[in-house]
Amino acid sequence: MTDHYAVIGNPIAHSRSPVIHAAFAAQTGQDMSYTRLLAPLDGFETVLNQFRAEGGRGVNVTVPFKEIAWQLADHLSPRAWQAQAVNTLSFTERGIEADNTDGAGLVNDLRGNLGFSLVGKRILLMGAGGAARGVAAALLAESPLQLVIANRTVARAELLVQQFSALGQVSACDYAALSGQSFDCVINATSASLHHDTIELPQTLFSANSLAYDMMYASKPSAFMTFAAQYGATRCVDGLGMLVEQAAVAFSIWRGITPETKPVLQMLRTQLQAA
Ligand code: ATR
Residue 275: the pLDDT is: 81
Task: Tell how many helices (H) and how many strands (E) occur in the chain.
Answer: 10, 12
Are 13 and 117 found together in one domain? no
Are 154 and 136 found together in one domain? yes
Asked whether residue 274 is domain-assigned, the answer is no
The CA distance from 79 to 63, in Å, is 18
Please, what is the end-to-end C-alpha distance for the chain in angstroms? 35
Residue 240: the pLDDT is: 98
For residue 191, what are the domain limits?
A: 103-240
Are 78 and 196 found together in one domain? no
Instruction: Give the residue numbers marked as catalytic.
Output: 66
Are 45 and 132 found together in one domain? no
Are 97 and 109 found together in one domain? no
> What are the distances in angstroms from CA 174 to CA 124, 130, 228?
11, 17, 18
Q: In what order do the strands lie in the sheet with 170-173?
A: 170-173, 146-150, 122-126, 183-188, 206-214, 235-237
pLDDT per residue as tens, the chain (275 positions): 999 999 999 999 999 999 999 999 999 999 999 999 999 999 999 999 999 999 999 999 999 999 999 999 999 999 999 999 999 999 999 999 999 999 999 999 999 999 999 999 999 999 999 999 999 999 999 999 999 999 999 999 999 999 999 999 999 999 999 999 999 999 999 999 888 888 999 999 999 999 999 999 989 999 999 999 999 999 999 999 999 999 999 999 999 999 999 999 999 999 999 88
Atom of ligand 1 nearest to the CA of 197: 27
Are 34 and 67 found together in one domain? yes
166 CA distance to ligand 1 middle (Å): 24
Ligand 1, CB cutoff 6 Å, lining residues: 127-131, 151-153, 156, 190-192, 195, 197, 199
| Total domains present in the chain | 2
Closest C-alpha to 139, from 163, 157, 121, 158 = 121
Asked whether residue 273 is domain-assigned, the answer is no
Residue 193: the pLDDT is: 81
10 Å CB burial of residue 35 (0-12, 13-18, 19+) is middle
Are 153 and 163 found together in one domain? yes
Longest distance between any two alpha carbons in the chain, whole Å:
60
Q: What is the CATH number of the domain that holds 228?
A: 3.40.50.720
172 CA distance to ligand 1 middle (Å): 15
Are 38 and 70 found together in one domain? yes
Are 214 and 97 found together in one domain? no
Are 221 and 152 found together in one domain? yes
Question: Is the CB of residue 41 less than 8 Å from the CB of residue 12?
Answer: no
Sign of the torsion angle spanned by Cα atoms 167, 85, 55, 38? negative
190 CA distance to ligand 1 middle (Å): 5
Atom of ligand 1 nearest to the CA of 153: 19
Q: What is the CATH number of the domain that holds 19?
A: 3.40.50.10860
Question: Is the CB of residue 63 less than 8 Å from the CB of residue 8?
Answer: no
Asked whether residue 272 is domain-assigned, the answer is no
Asked whether residue 268 is domain-assigned, the answer is no
Are 112 and 214 found together in one domain? yes
Are 121 and 205 found together in one domain? yes
- Residue 119 main-chain phi, psi, to 5 deg: -60, 125
